[in-house]
Amino acid sequence: MATTTATLTLTSDINTDALALTTTHTLNKAGTTIGLEQTTGLAKKIYAAAQTNVTLINAGDYTDNTASRVYIKNTGSSSTDYFTLELGASNIVVGRLYGQDFAWIPYEGEQDIDISSTGTNMELEFMVINEG
């Protein structure tokens, strides 16, 4: 059985009260204590031109109603160019990833994850950790 653990650490001096938060989670199959056992591997895509509603993760590749996780990172350094993350055929906007921003998203495999981008030669990396 595979064991995959995700840890998120946030620290900030945004106000007079310092923030120091760490949370850890073991990634398991839905409703079990069995670890997620499959992954796409860490992949990289470079988009030579701006993109609109391009499928990054195809829901048809995954079983619905699972406890998968998706990691997506804009590996660029631009503070003005960004990727927009979108869900499903209606392209519901999840948010923007500017240079070095990343997203860690629970994923049930029911909707495609699409991207749009604003610049040229933009690069992102992504991975799906899934049940199968």
The whole-number pLDDT of residue 17 equals 83
CB 5 within 8 A of CB 26: yes
| 21 inside domain | no
Nearest Cα to Cα of residue 11 among 25, 1, 26, 21: 21
Kindly report whether the global pTM for this prediction surpasses the value 0.85: yes
The whole-number pLDDT of residue 35 equals 92
Instruction: Say whether 61 sits in a helix, a strand or coil.
Output: helix
The whole-number pLDDT of residue 15 equals 82
Please tell me the total count of domains within the chain: 1
CATH code of the domain covering residue 100: 2.60.120.10
| 87 inside domain | yes
The whole-number pLDDT of residue 63 equals 87
CA distance 31 to 132: 15
| 100 inside domain | yes
Mean pLDDT per 10-residue interval, the chain, length 132 residues: 90 87 94 92 97 96 91 97 96 97 94 96 96 78
| 3 inside domain | no
| 65 inside domain | yes
Task: Name beta bridge partners: 82.
Answer: 98
Give the burial string for 6-44 (b: 16+ CB within 10 Å, else e): eeeeeeeeeeeeeeeeeeeeebbbeeeeebbeeeeeeee
Domain hosting residue 85, numbered range:
37-130
| 1 inside domain | no
CA distance 83 to 121: 12
* Six-digit token string for 69: 């996780």
| 99 inside domain | yes
| 29 inside domain | no
